[in-house]
Amino acid sequence: MQDSTLKRFGVSMEGNLLEKFDLLVKQKGYENRSEAVRDLVRDALIQQLWEGDEQIVAGSILLFYNHHQRNLLEEMTNIQHSVHNLIIATTHFHLNHESCLEIIVVKGKVKDIQQLSNKLTSLKGVAYGKFTVAPVDQI
């Protein structure tokens, strides 16, 4: 049985992080911090449910990286070729002289795609990576 009553708890964070969070709350149109925290928790819990699962999902892997990083492009290509069956498409953008953005559209078992995302985002030279996913049977 689910308990749908609201519970209060405290959250501590650095002042500059709270200022950025408050700006996010305002930009997204939340009425208060609590609504924003609830959405963040829901999203984290949904992502957690799919990790290690056999469920078929579709999603994207977003990578920001320095293309001057030695061997990075070769490593990225080798990783992607080793799991070509998971990759539907890739799109590459040149943001400036050093930085690139790559979007990889994927479909397959969530555990396999999560593993691919982890391999790519942990490469030296990748400044930021984000894996987004949705279950195919609920789309």
56-65 as b/e: b if 16+ CB within 10 A: ebbbbbbbbb
**Whole-Å CA distances, 35 to 29, 44, 97, 100:** 10, 14, 40, 34
Tell me the domain boundaries of the chain: 15-50, 56-138
Instruction: Return binding residues for Ni(2+).
Output: 81, 92, 94, 100
Q: What is the DSSP string of 28-40?
A: HT-SSHHHHHHHH
Joined tokens for residue 36: 């924003």
Residue with tokens 């990889």, as numbered in its chain: 104
pLDDT tens digits for the chain (139 residues)? 567 788 888 889 899 999 999 999 999 999 899 999 988 887 777 666 665 577 888 999 999 999 899 999 999 999 999 999 999 999 999 999 999 999 999 999 988 998 999 999 999 999 999 998 876 665 4
Residue 123: φ, ψ to 5°: -65, 140
Half-sphere exposure for 78 (CA within 13 Å, toward CB): 7
Instruction: Return binding residues.
Output: 81, 92, 94, 100
* Dist CA 71 CA 91 (whole Å): 20
Q: What is residue 39's predicted lDDT score, i.e. its pLDDT?
A: 85
- In this structure, which CATH number among 3.30.300.30, 3.30.460.80, 1.10.3720.10, 3.30.70.1150 belongs to the domain 56-138? 3.30.70.1150
Joined tokens for residue 17: 């992080």
* Dist CA 50 CA 31 (whole Å): 30
Q: What is residue 66's predicted lDDT score, i.e. its pLDDT?
A: 94
Is the model's pTM score more than 0.85? Answer: no
